[in-house]
């Protein structure tokens, strides 16, 4: 009973994190911050929800008959968790790099300058480019 309560708590925590990821992917202004929200919130919520179900599979471990199958299923869920823990971060990194090379620019406040764009003597041209290319993503 307490294991069911703990797994329900894990699953609800995962839903809260997924709500945060959904709000972030809908409301953030540019591609990289949306990538940030999607990568972190999506990964953590998936890990928490699957860990909750894996904990629920282990609830009647004392019984000798069904325990082997339950442990095998929980182990496969842990394999999914370990795979997603690596693969989601990898795909987030690859998609962010591809988004940069595809021509996405971060939205930068006017008092700051785009330090990724080039050397200091050419930052004004880079700032012009930045302002011209991100006008569609600003409200």
Partner 1 sequence: MTFEHFSIGVGVALLLLMIPAMCRIVMGPTTMDRIVGANMVGTKTTVLLVIIGVIFGKVDMFIDFALTYALLNFTGAIAAARYLRHKGRRGIVLASTSEESVCERA
Tell me: does residue 107 bind partner 1 (CB under 8 A): no
Phi (first) and psi of residue 134, to 5 degrees: -110, 15
Tell me: does residue 99 bind partner 1 (CB under 8 A): yes
* Gap between the Cα atoms of 50 and 80, Å rounded: 8
Region 47-86 residues binding partner 1, contact defined as CB under 8 A: 49-50, 53, 56-57, 69, 72-73, 76-77, 79-80, 83-84
Phi (first) and psi of residue 63, to 5 degrees: -70, 140
Total binding residues toward partner 1, as defined by CB under 8 A: 57
Tell me: does residue 21 bind partner 1 (CB under 8 A): yes
- 120, 121, 123, 129 alpha-carbon torsion, rounded to 10°: -150
Q: Which bin fits 118, alpha (ψ -120 to 50), beta or left (φ > 0)?
A: left
* Gap between the Cα atoms of 39 and 73, Å rounded: 26
Among 2, 90, 111, 112, binds partner 1 (CB under 8 A): 90
Binding positions for partner 1, rule: CB under 8 A: 4, 8, 11, 15, 18-19, 21-23, 25-26, 31, 34-35, 38, 42-43, 46, 49-50, 53, 56-57, 69, 72-73, 76-77, 79-80, 83-84, 87-88, 90-91, 94-95, 97-104, 115-119, 122, 125-126, 129, 136-137
């Amino acid at each position: 009973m307490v294991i069911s309560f703990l797994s329900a708590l894990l699953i609800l925590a995962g839903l809260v994190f997924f709500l945060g990821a959904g709000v972030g992917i809908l409301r953030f202004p540019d591609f990289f911050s949306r990538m940030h929200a999607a990568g972190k919130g999506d990964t953590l919520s998936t890990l928490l929800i699957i860990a909750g179900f894996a904990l629920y599979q282990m609830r009647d471990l004392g019984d000798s008959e069904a325990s082997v199958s339950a442990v095998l299923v929980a182990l496969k869920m842990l394999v999914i968790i370990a795979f997603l823990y690596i693969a989601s971060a990898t795909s987030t990194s690859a998609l962010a790099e591809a988004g940069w090379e595809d021509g996405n620019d971060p939205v930068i406040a006017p008092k700051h300058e785009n330090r990724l764009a080039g050397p200091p003597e050419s930052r004004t041209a880079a700032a012009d480019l930045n302002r011209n290319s991100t006008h569609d993503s600003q409200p």
